[in-house]
Amino acid sequence: MPVLSTSESRVSFLCPQLPPGAPIQVSLETSSGQSQPLTATMRDATPGIFTIDGSGKGQGVILVQDTGTLATVRNPWVSGEPAQPGDRLAIRVTGLPPDAHPSVEIGGILVPADSVQPEDSSGVYDVLVTLPPGVSPGDAVPVSLRLPLASGATVGSNVVTMAVEPVRR
């Protein structure tokens, strides 16, 4: 399976699309050899929002659509600025089924995604949403996804943050 990222203590990879309940075995192969297989059972996909530091917490990979500008506080080291109500955002995620129709919770306001677009990497998507009016401005506004499952249940993603400011005139 494609490897998304690695560190000394963690390997993130794209999980195969198998039905929930299917058995899976995972092993890691490096130049040093192969690990013993880990046996698990496939569960429903759980969406995950990418973060700048890869921790799954803090500043999310949330871009003002078509600009490449990160929705973050202004600083000289990152190409970014706070988003404003009405901005179209692209939230970088993984863990979505191909026919996903997620909603996005931004600062406590739940809005349906405008669309979901696959990225260049397999299993990576941009969830497109318009930042609604009424979101309180702040440097660390919470953002998460809600994904309805075929069973009728809903699963949520990790909670990340983004910066929001009032519309400037």
pLDDT tens, residue order, the chain (169 aa): 777 778 888 887 777 778 888 999 988 888 889 989 989 988 777 899 999 998 999 999 999 987 889 999 998 888 899 999 999 999 999 988 878 899 999 999 999 999 999 887 678 899 999 999 999 999 999 999 999 987 788 999 999 999 999 987 6
Report how far residue 41's alpha carbon sits from residue 135's, in angstroms, rounded to the nearest whole number. Answer: 39
Report how far residue 131's alpha carbon sits from residue 118's, in angstroms, rounded to the nearest whole number. Answer: 20
Tell me if 85 sits within 8 A of 135, measured CB to CB.
Answer: yes
Please name which of 86, 139, 129 lies closest in space to residue 105, comparing C-alpha atoms: 129
Report how far residue 17's alpha carbon sits from residue 32's, in angstroms, rounded to the nearest whole number. Answer: 28
Task: Provide CATH 2.60.40 ranges for the chain.
Answer: 45-164
Give the model's pLDDT for residue 142. Answer: 98
- The pTM of the full predicted model, rounded to 2 decimals, is 0.80
Within 10 A of 117 (CB to CB), how many other CB atoms are there?
Answer: 11
Domain 45-164, what architecture?
Answer: Sandwich (2.60)
Token look-up 């988003």 returns: 83
Please name which of 133, 59, 149 lies closest in space to residue 95, comparing C-alpha atoms: 149
